[in-house]
Amino acid sequence: MSGANDLFDLSGRVAVVTGGNKGIGLGFARGLAKAGADVAIWARSEDDNARAAEELRAFGTRVIGLPCDITDFATITEACRRTVEELGRIDACFANAGGGDGYDPLKVSPERFGKTLDMNVDGTFFTLQEVSKHMKERGGGGKLVTVSSITERFGAAKMPGYAAAKAALGGIVRSLAIEFARYDIQVNNLQPGWIETDATQPMRDNDKLRDTVVHRTPARRWGKTADFEGIAVYFASSASDFHTGDTLCIDGGYSIF
């Protein structure tokens, strides 16, 4: 009988992480590499890609960093092609890249509002589309994971575009989970809560906000990127073969308290 270690062993598998050179994405990549997966980081900064890849290679797996801007669909296609060429296949994709900024909803231009949707909705969808084409053609199934936010549940002042975009991912995931089940491809969504990353540093510099989050969170702390290592392994492994169309909130209990 296979043990738990075999269930979560990713040796021989290849995982893509968009935006995987820092923050939550790097947390995913660390967990995947520790479990034995070869990893392809797709992100815009080639310098950050190289630094992350060097760190991850210490776990003994193959790691490549490829330039990719998910708002430029040609770079998605090229990153997918090079990943298959250099690592042989893609078994899992964590569509983590995204972002947004704050603005007055009474003054925001259509261009600025649309830019947030283009990045988080279109960029994520067409990343999944490109990878799933490969998975279908190769056969053998696969894993697709999107990354939204607890703003999907609560909204966010001055960030209606970001909240709308992240909420859209849940609908995309449920739809693709139905569509891709016939190919043995599981599709799921993660909702991170308040996490310690470079992007949230300005928020954590605000003593009142930082402490409010801690007091509201049953775990009594902000999340860490390391908190996403294990969930990445689960969703990339055969342990999640019957788990699809779901959204999991990784927030230390913030959303239920």
Which residues are known to be catalytic? Answer: 162
Rounded to whole angstroms, how far apart are CA atoms 149 and 153?
Answer: 8
Instruction: Kindly tell me the burial class for residue 80, based on how many C-beta atoms sit within 10 Å of its own C-beta (0-12, 13-18, 19 or more).
Output: buried
Contact 180, 144 (CB under 8 A): yes
| Parallel/antiparallel/unpaired status of strands 142-147 and 185-192 | parallel
Check if the beta carbon of residue 247 is closer than 8 Å to that of residue 173: yes
* Encoded amino acid at 235, one letter: F
Question: CA-based angle 212:101:26, to the nearest 5?
Answer: 75
Strands (E), 20-134: 38-43, 63-67, 92-95
